[in-house]
Amino acid sequence: MKSITIKGSQRESVGKVATKALRNAGQVPCVLYGGDKPVHFSAEELAFKNLVYTPNVYTATIEVEGATYAAILQDIQFHPVTDRILHVDFYQLFDDKEITMNIPVKLTGTSPGVLNGGSLRFTNRKLRVKALPANLPDFISADISKLKIGNKLVITSLFNEDYTFMHPDNTVVVQVRTSRNATAEDEDSEETETAEGAEAAAPAAE
């Protein structure tokens, strides 16, 4: 999985006054959990742009006072009015310890059911997986090229030995359902066949 680098500065004080001063200076107070002890630091608000405001998922490489930590974004607080980032919690990663993350699903191929007028229902756009940090994928690929009207793709079809899905086996990821257009096309097709049959039968009756 790709990583976004966050360069931070050690926080000398974690009180409300110091926190407010950091925010006024365009800095975001942060905490890194999961290690021997929490690491309190701050970073420029712009540093979180590519980590937060994106549909993609990334790990974070946090650099603080010469030390480097691999982490994932655990929680983020926004201002209720301005939507500015108020506080960020990170969780430290270790090479030999599995973690769980919500990974985006990307559809590949073209569904014949959709081409025939069916409606594509993308039920689960993100799936929760458990894996070692090195095995976390950037996204999960779901091939819909065989989905006809009425077909569905369940999570067992996306099996990968590098990670484990944290969902029931019958979880539907995407499906193609009948739509009004598809029904209309079927009716038109039936009417055409009936009309052609009548025309063919007419000379025989004469």
Q: Please give the pLDDT value at position 198.
A: 44
Q: What is the mean pLDDT of residues 184-198?
A: 43
Amino acid at 87: H
On whether both 107 and 161 belong to a single domain, the answer is yes
119 CB neighbour count, 10 Å cutoff: 15
CA angle 201-204-206, nearest 5°?
115
Q: Please give the pLDDT value at position 191.
A: 43
Query: Per the domain annotation, does 163 fall within a domain?
Result: yes
pLDDT of 16 above 90: no
On whether both 82 and 115 belong to a single domain, the answer is no
- For 26, the domain range is 3-93
Question: For the CA atoms of the chain, what is the radius of gyration?
Answer: 26
Q: Please give the pLDDT value at position 180.
A: 73
Assigned token pair, 113: 């059911």
38-95 pLDDT tens trace = 999 999 999 999 999 888 999 999 999 999 999 999 999 999 999 999 999 999 999 9
Query: Per the domain annotation, does 204 fall within a domain?
Result: no
Q: Please give the pLDDT value at position 182.
A: 61
Q: What is the mean pLDDT of the chain?
A: 87
On whether both 81 and 157 belong to a single domain, the answer is no
Question: CATH code at 71?
Answer: 2.40.240.10
Query: Per the domain annotation, does 197 fall within a domain?
Result: no
Question: CATH code at 169?
Answer: 2.170.120.20
On whether both 78 and 128 belong to a single domain, the answer is no
On whether both 176 and 114 belong to a single domain, the answer is yes
Query: Per the domain annotation, does 188 fall within a domain?
Result: no
Q: How confident is the model at residue 22 (pLDDT cuts 50, 70, 90)?
A: confident
Rounded percentage of the chain residues whose pLDDT exceeds 70: 87
On whether both 114 and 78 belong to a single domain, the answer is no
Q: Please give the pLDDT value at position 181.
A: 66
Closest CA to 27 of 50, 53, 9: 9
Q: Please give the pLDDT value at position 204.
A: 44
On whether both 176 and 142 belong to a single domain, the answer is yes
**Coil/strand/helix, residue 184:** helix
The total number of structural domains that make up the chain: 2
How far apart are the C-alpha atoms of 87 and 76, rounded to whole Å?
6
pTM for the predicted model, two decimal places = 0.78
Q: Please give the pLDDT value at position 75.
A: 94
How far apart are the C-alpha atoms of 119 and 123, rounded to whole Å?
12
